[in-house]
């Protein structure tokens, strides 16, 4: 028997169905979840980010669930953004998806839209249309976004599933437990690396440490050679290989900066990761890139700044004959890239730029061959979710292998 969660009068009305069937369903789900996890009450949220959009991963069950939630004109109560789907709806590109897939995918997106969810179809809401401030409670799904919001921004969210994030969006609140409480956000493990760490090395570190510590909150101690906005790559790898909802980077991420040593009292284990380990991991996942036929970048989606860096490297070069180079971003950053000429440079180099979807949740081109990505999260999921043979390597190695 679980303890009974305290509900406000208004929340009780939602639970009793006075605000409609969809709201009642959302409320029931949150109450069950909260009582199971010992949450004393719900906490109001300022935004939601919802995953579970691709027909590839959600299937018919997702459509059925969304139809039930949306019955009677249910609307979300807070700003809510949406993760990538299985197609590029903007450019009308469906890769190897058949007509049935396209139809069902469109219905999923329309159902979300009907409920008032912004169809951003992006996994980097924190870089444009949904940026939470420090300390606010939110209900986000999509693990890379959760880790970024908790760690870099200092907002508070559990690693929600697609349906619990949607339910919270409808109710405007989430069960108060887990990462919403400061005591669960304190680091238990310290991980040190000597010297400067590059973006690629930070991802490798995320993967190595994630495998080792699972869901524990880590206090990293290293000097990044890149701006903190790029820590999303490390967070994506950390949570793919482990299960963490957040990390700290000493003196850089928000809670470490604001609270200093006061949050470090519960560290129980100290790990030193040697550069040799990072090199060995890189060798293991990269191998001979000459064998590759499709190069994929943009997991998490690339921002306009990241596209600019790619454009600077590929300017005047072309993708080699027989190879393809796919880049994934969202519509917001695509427009920015178009405005300042970055998109033209990429296209002139025969790089294919897509929005709304990604290399993991789309059906991908049918072409046989080995995929190479600069993302360890994509490397982790490509064989599992897309049955593709994959390698991973730093962005610059990918560019030099893919372009003439
Ligand atoms: Fe985003 Fe797809 Fe990667 S949703 S984090 S690009 S797996």
Ligand 1 mean position, distance from CA 377 (Å): 8
Question: What's the pTM value of the predicted model, to 2 decimals?
Answer: 0.97
Q: Residue 316: pLDDT above 90?
A: yes
Q: What is the mean pLDDT of residues 376-390?
A: 92
Regarding the beta carbon of 27 and ligand 1, being less than 6 Å apart is answered no
Q: Provide the token pair at 26.
A: 């959302």
Q: What is the mean pLDDT of residues 155-181?
A: 98
Q: Residue 99: pLDDT above 60?
A: yes
Contact by Cβ (8 Å): 5, 30: no
Q: Residue 330: pLDDT above 90?
A: yes
Instruction: Give the span between the Cα atoms of 21 and 29, in whole angstroms.
Output: 12
Ligand 1 mean position, distance from CA 353 (Å): 15
Q: What is the mean pLDDT of residues 207-231?
A: 98
Mutation test residue for ligand 1: of 127, 301, 363, the one with most atoms within 8 Å of CB: 301
Instruction: Give the span between the Cα atoms of 30 and 39, in whole angstroms.
Output: 10
Q: Between the CA of residue 115 and those of 109, 126, 252, what are the distances in Å?
A: 10, 21, 38
Q: Looking at ligand 1, which atom is closest to the CA of residue 83?
A: 4
Query: Residue 109: left if φ>0, alpha if ψ -120 to 50, beta else—which one?
Result: alpha
- The helix (run of H) or strand (run of E) holding residue 298 is strand 292-302
Q: What is the mean pLDDT of residues 314-325?
A: 96
Mutation test residue for ligand 1: of 300, 329, 355, 392, the one with most atoms within 8 Å of CB: 300
Q: Provide the token pair at 366.
A: 């049918």
Ligand 1 mean position, distance from CA 358 (Å): 6
Regarding the beta carbon of 360 and ligand 1, being less than 6 Å apart is answered yes
Regarding the beta carbon of 398 and ligand 1, being less than 6 Å apart is answered no
Write down the pLDDT at residue 71: 93
Write down the pLDDT at residue 114: 98
Shortest-distance Cα residue to atom 4 of ligand 1: 123
Write down the pLDDT at residue 388: 87
Ligand 1 mean position, distance from CA 101 (Å): 19
Shortest-distance Cα residue to atom 3 of ligand 1: 299
Percentage of the chain with pLDDT > 90?
A: 95
Residue among 299, 304, 355 nearest 333 (CA): 304
Share the mean pLDDT of the chain.
Answer: 96
Q: Provide the token pair at 129.
A: 């249309």
Write down the pLDDT at residue 1: 57
Write down the pLDDT at residue 287: 87
Write down the pLDDT at residue 77: 98
Q: What is the mean pLDDT of residues 380-395?
A: 92
Shortest-distance Cα residue to atom 7 of ligand 1: 360
Q: Provide the token pair at 379.
A: 């490397």
Shortest-distance Cα residue to atom 5 of ligand 1: 300
Burial of 160 (C-beta count, 10 Å sphere; 0-12/13-18/19+): buried
Ligand 1 mean position, distance from CA 328 (Å): 9
Write down the pLDDT at residue 135: 98
Instruction: Give the span between the Cα atoms of 205 and 197, in whole angstroms.
Output: 9
Q: Looking at ligand 1, which atom is closest to the CA of residue 123?
A: 1
Mutation test residue for ligand 1: of 83, 84, 162, the one with most atoms within 8 Å of CB: 84
Mutation test residue for ligand 1: of 49, 377, 379, the one with most atoms within 8 Å of CB: 377
Q: Residue 181: pLDDT above 60?
A: yes
Write down the pLDDT at residue 387: 85
Ligand 1 mean position, distance from CA 123 (Å): 6
Collapsing DSSP to helix, strand or coil, 319 comes out as strand
Q: Residue 241: pLDDT above 80?
A: yes
Q: Looking at ligand 1, which atom is closest to the CA of residue 84?
A: 4
Write down the pLDDT at residue 3: 65
Q: Residue 155: pLDDT above 60?
A: yes
Q: Looking at ligand 1, which atom is closest to the CA of residue 145?
A: 5
Residue among 291, 369, 365 nearest 93 (CA): 365
Per-residue pLDDT band at 369 (split at 50, 70, 90): confident
Q: Residue 368: pLDDT above 80?
A: no
Shortest-distance Cα residue to atom 2 of ligand 1: 358
Ligand 1 mean position, distance from CA 144 (Å): 8
Write down the pLDDT at residue 2: 63
Q: Residue 175: pLDDT above 60?
A: yes
> Looking at 31-45, 169-183, 194-208, 376-390, which range is the least confident one?
376-390
Total residues belonging to the chain? 404
Q: What is the mean pLDDT of residues 94-122?
A: 97
Residue among 105, 245, 81 nearest 162 (CA): 81
């Amino acid at each position: 028997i679980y303890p009974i969660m305290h509900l406000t009068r208004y929340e009780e009305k939602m639970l009793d169905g006075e605000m409609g069937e969809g709201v009642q369903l959302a409320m029931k789900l949150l109450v069950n979840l909260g009582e199971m996890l010992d949450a004393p009450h719900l906490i109001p949220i300022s935004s939601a980010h919802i995953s579970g959009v691709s027909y590839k991963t959600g299937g018919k069950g997702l459509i059925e669930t969304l139809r039930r939630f949306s019955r009677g004109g249910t609307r979300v109560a807070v700003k809510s953004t949406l993760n990538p789907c299985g197609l590029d709806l903007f450019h009308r590109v469906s890769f190897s998806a058949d007509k049935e897939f396209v139809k069902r995918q469109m219905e999923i997106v329309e159902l979300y839209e009907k409920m008032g969810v912004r169809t951003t179809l992006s996994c980097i809401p924190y870089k444009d249309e949904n940026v939470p401030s420090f300390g606010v409670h939110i209900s986000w799904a999509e693990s890379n976004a959760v880790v970024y919001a908790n760690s870099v921004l200092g907002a508070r969210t559990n690693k929600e599933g697609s349906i619990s994030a949607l339910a919270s969006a409808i109710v405007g609140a989430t069960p108060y437990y887990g990462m919403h409480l400061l005591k669960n956000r304190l680091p238990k493990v310290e991980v040190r690396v000597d010297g400067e760490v590059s973006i690629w090395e930070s991802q490798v570190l995320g993967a190595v440490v994630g495998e080792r510590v699972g869901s524990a909150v880590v206090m990293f101690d290293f000097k990044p050679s890149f701006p903190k906005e790029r820590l999303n790559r490390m967070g994506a790898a950390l949570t793919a290989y482990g299960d963490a909802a957040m990390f700290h980077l000493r003196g850089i991420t928000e809670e470490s900066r604001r609270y200093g040593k006061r949050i470090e009292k519960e560290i129980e284990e100290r790990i030193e990761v040697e550069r040799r380990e990072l090199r060995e991991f890189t060798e293991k996942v990269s191998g001979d890139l000459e064998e590759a036929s499709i190069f994929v970048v943009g997991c998490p989606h690339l921002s306009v700044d990241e596209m600019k860096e790619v454009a600077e490297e590929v300017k005047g070069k072309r993708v080699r004959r027989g190879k393809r180079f796919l880049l994934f971003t969202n519509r917001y950053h695509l427009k920015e890239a178009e405005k300042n000429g970055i998109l033209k440079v990429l296209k002139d180099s025969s790089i294919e730029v897509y929005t709304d979807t990604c290399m993991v949740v789309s059906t991908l081109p049918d072409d046989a061959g080995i995929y190479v990505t600069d993302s360890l999260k994509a490397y982790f999921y490509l064989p599992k979710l897309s049955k593709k043979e994959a390698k991973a390597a730093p962005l610059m190695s990918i560019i030099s292998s893919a372009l003439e």
